[in-house]
Amino acid sequence: MEKKGASLALNVIVVAVLVLIVLVVILVLFGGKMKMFGEATNSCSDNNGICQPSCAGNEAKLPFACESPNVCCKVVYDTGDTNG
């Protein structure tokens, strides 16, 4: 009867170790992807913005990276100007 109990305990330990290894691998893979995603969304152009010295009246200033002294701007409404 003791051998059955010892065998069961050994199986539980082996399964637990395998589960931990799989979890570590998943965290490593997704951890790198999340960092890459965070860097991509910090760009002004990736967020449909334009880097320029200042924003016009129909543009909103966005909190994304541009080279100084420029700011990230995005058109929020059409001015109705048909000349251009």
Average per-residue pLDDT for the chain: 82
Is 49 in contact with 31 (CB distance < 8 Å)? no
Residue 65 CB neighbours (<10 A)? 17
Token pair recorded at residue 48? 């449909």
- Please write the tens of the pLDDT for every residue from 2-36: 566 677 788 999 999 999 999 999 888 877 666 65
Which SS3 state, helix, strand or coil, does residue 67 take?
coil
What does DSSP assign to residue 54?
S
Say if pTM beats, i.e. exceeds, 0.85: no
Give the pLDDT of residue 1.
47
Identify the pLDDT of residue 54: 94
Please list, residue by residue across 27-61, b when 16 or more beta carbons sit within 10 angstroms of its beta carbon and e when fewer do. Answer: eeeeeeeeeeeeeeeeebeeeebbbeeebeeebee
